[in-house]
Amino acid sequence: MFLAVLPGCAGQPRPGRRASCPRDEVLFGFEDFTARLLAWTLWWNTGHHPAPLRGKTPLEAWQDDPTPLRDVAATDLWTFTLEDAGTRTLTTCGIRFHERGYVGPWMTGESGIRVRIRFMPHHDYRIGVYHAATGRFLGPADLAGQATEEQVSAVRKARAARARGLKKDLEASQRERYAAAIQPEAPQRLGALTTAQAEAELAQTADTDLAQLAMPDLIAPAAPPADWRTPASLAVLTTPGPRVPHPSGRDGAFAPDGRDGRAAPPTIDEDQDAS
């Protein structure tokens, strides 16, 4: 009832047609909308007299009802808004959920147990943790390493700037103009570009494509000298093969050509045909 009389409410559209509203219609801001909604709710409960209540307001009918009431704590009501996210194993670092860590003081000494995660959609700063076998509520877990308000504000500004840039690029790519035609023929696009404009736009596209295809770990670093105490986790990431001897006679970190652990490239005799 409240929404139906607000500006911007399109109502029920006719079959085959989209809902629409006048273009010059002024919509309410969030604060104004909230104030009007609260005022309407107050009127409904205290000034409205529905026929089924026989002259009473909803508030008067509520107060005259002898049904006993039980107050429920807000923390208990919160559990009715949660969605299930499956089971996890509780570790010494907490719980991983959506590639982020969640911790709680009650987790001390509980490492290794299986737990079930429940969360409120769009409120990912806290999750609810339950025992996977018994369903008992163990406690809440908060997001670890939360960013400060300044960092969040900076990220939102950066996202807004990127969104504006993408929107501008999309509008520019869709802005096509065609020449008039007086006979059936292929459409002729309008819009001239200078050589500098074309090269700049193509270069920008090429830089973006190359950045997406970059694979910095494609060529693994050379194996370290034998007398280095290299962790096994790092040794397996190096390039296998014979080490280059150091000029002093012992294996070193630098090859004769000055590159770190890589063999010198083969040389070509000047008298030899380069082909």
CB 28 within 8 A of CB 6: yes
pLDDT band at 261 (very low <50, low <70, confident <90, very high): very low
* Residue 56 or residue 191, greater confidence: 56
135 in the same domain as 89: yes
**121 in the same domain as 97:** yes
Model pLDDT, residue 202: 79
Shared domain check, 122 and 89 = yes
**Within a domain: 107:** yes
Helix (H, G, I), strand (E, B) or coil at 125: strand
Residue 42 is part of which domain span?
30-62
Where does the pLDDT of residue 213 fall: very low under 50, low under 70, confident under 90, or very high at 90 and above? low
Residues 250, 246: Cα–Cα separation, whole Å: 5
State which of 101, 128, 143 marks the end of a domain. Answer: 143
Report how many domains make up the chain: 2
β pairing state of 114-120 and 83-89: antiparallel
pLDDT value of residue 274: 44
User: Which whole number is the average pLDDT over 209-238?
Assistant: 72
* pLDDT over 90 percentage in the chain: 27
Phi, psi torsion values for 196, nearest 5 degrees = -65, -40
Residue 43 lies in a domain: yes
| CATH number of the domain encompassing residue 108 | 2.30.30
> pLDDT category, 81, cuts 50, 70, 90?
confident
Residue 116: other Cβ atoms inside 10 A? 18
Residue 86: is its pLDDT beyond 60? Answer: yes
The reply to whether 83 falls in a domain is: yes
Classify 257 as helix, strand or coil.
coil
Burial (CB count <10 Å: 0-12, 13-18, 19+), residue 215: exposed
Q: Do 78 and 55 share a structural domain? A: no
Q: Are residues 117 and 87 in the same domain?
A: yes
Evaluate if residue 131 carries a pLDDT over 60: yes
Instruction: Find how far residue 12's CA is from the centre of its chain.
Output: 34
With a cut of 80, say whether residue 258 has pLDDT above it.
Answer: no
208 falls within a domain: no
Stretch 132-158: mean pLDDT, rounded? 90
pLDDT exceeds cutoff 80 at 20 = no
**Residue 263 DSSP SS3:** coil
At 228, is the pLDDT very low, low, confident or very high (cuts 50, 70, 90)?
confident
- In a domain? residue 136: yes
Least reliable range by pLDDT among 66-80, 149-163, 223-237, 259-273:
259-273
The band of 223, judged by pLDDT with boundaries at 50, 70 and 90, is confident
Strand partners, 77: none
Q: The pTM is what?
A: 0.49
Separation between Cα atoms, residue 9 and residue 36, nearest integer Å: 15
| 211 occurs within a structural domain | no
Residue-wise pLDDT for 176-193, tens only, equals 787 887 777 888 877 777
What is the residue whose two structure tokens read 């802005």? 175
* Domain final position from 82, 115, 143: 143
Structural domain contains residue 130? yes
Report the percent of the chain where pLDDT is more than 70: 76
81 inside domain: yes
Name the one residue in this structure whose structure tokens are 């508030």.
59
Q: Are residues 58 and 102 in the same domain?
A: no
